[in-house]
Amino acid sequence: MFQELFLNLSNNLNNTSVVMIWLFQIMFCYFSILFSLKFFGKTGIYVYVAIAIILANIQVLKVVDFPFFPEPMALGTVLFISIFLCTDILNEYFDKKSATKCIYLGIAAYLFSTVLMFLTISMTPINPDAYPAWSWSYDMHESIKTIFLPQFPIIVGSICAFFISQKIDIFIFSYLKNKNTNLWFRNNASTIVSQFIDNIIFSVLAFNILTSNPVPLFDLIISYGLGIYFLRILLSLFDTIFIYLAKNFLPSKLD
């Protein structure tokens, strides 16, 4: 009953502008970060990042045609960008150590989910002919295998890009904070640099160096590296509003 309800709702939303749903997703993610901070403090941010990095690597499997982009674009960008907002909030209102801890927790959550789902896939599914009433379970197994079967280039590219870019983001943000620059500048300067590095490392590793069907490097950098990068910069400029708002969502007792 409820599955049918959500399926109908999803089908109805398919007739809505993809941009409208995408904008709603942005607002939902950013406000989720603020309320996680409000009710759970640093722990809420840590949990958000752990969930976001897992879901982002699932969302990236879906490609959508956006009217403002010449090529179809993989989803996941919003969630990845929101993680940078999380580490900047931790860096600004808590300390550099908290932001760095967030990186390691995010990577640990991603690796844990990858190993656990690989073991899940490796268990022999039921024979649908032997158990007709449970035949739906075999279909679910095939769907899970399609989504969660580890892809080495994606895993390595994602972890390397995430770790290096986040460490650079935290370093630049902390450095500018110690120089008493204003929050708008340090938030955007650190994100603009780190986003460029994240995009280049991931695209080159996942789609050129580690894959068996490499995309030409020049085409890759122009279409994916720079194209997605400009979109990320727009989102990063927008998230500045939320790093200022975060001050009003800090828990009464900082953990």
4 part of a folded domain: no
Count how many Cα atoms sit within 13 Å of the Cα of residue 210 in the half-sphere of its side chain: 15
Amino acid 246: pLDDT = 97
Residue 228 has pLDDT above 70, yes or no: yes
> Is residue 53 a part of any domain in this protein?
yes
Tell me which of 216 and 175 has the higher pLDDT.
175
CB 243 within 8 Å of CB 87: no
Highest-pLDDT range among 35-39, 69-73, 75-79, 142-146:
35-39
Task: Assign residue 48 the CATH number of its domain.
Answer: 1.10.1760
pLDDT at 254: 62
Q: 185-199 pLDDT, tens per residue? A: 999 999 889 988 988
Give the mean pLDDT of 44-68: 89
Query: What burial class does residue 240 get, using C-beta atoms within 10 Å of its C-beta: 0-12 exposed, 13-18 middle, 19+ buried?
Result: middle
Reported as a pLDDT band with limits 50, 70 and 90, residue 26 is very high
pLDDT band at 225 (very low <50, low <70, confident <90, very high): low
Flag whether 234 is in a domain. yes
DSSP per-residue string spanning the chain: -HHHHHHHHHHHHTTS-HHHHHHHHHHHHHHHHHHHHHHHHHHHHHHHHHHHHHHHHHHTT-EE--TTSSS-EES-HHHHHHHHHHHHHHHHHT-HHHHHHHHHHHHHHHHHHHHHHHHHHHSPPP-TTT-GGGHHHHHHHHHHHHHHS--HHHHHHHHHHHHHHHHHHHHHHHHHHHTT--HHHHHHHHHHHHHHHHHHHHHHIIIIIS-SSPPPHHHHIIIIIIHHHHHHHHHHHHHHHHHHHGGGGS-SS--
Whether 254 is covered by a domain: the verdict is no
pLDDT at 255: 61
Please state the rounded mean pLDDT for residues 28-34.
97
Domain count, the chain: 1
Query: Does any domain span residue 110?
Result: yes
- Asked if the structure places residue 58 within a domain, the reply is yes
Q: What is the mean pLDDT of residues 142-168?
A: 91
- For residue 106, give its domain range: 18-249
Answer whether residue 9 is part of any domain.
no
The Cα 129–Cα 148 span in angstroms is 25
Q: Which of 59-68, 143-152, 234-243 is least confident?
A: 59-68
How many of the other CB atoms lie within 10 Å of CB of 59?
A: 18
Give the β-pairing of 73-74 and 63-64: antiparallel
Check the CA dihedral 234-237-241-242 and report its sign.
Answer: positive
Between CA 197 and CA 171 the distance in angstroms is 14
pLDDT tens digits, one per residue of 81-102? 899 999 999 999 999 999 999 9
188 in any annotated domain: yes
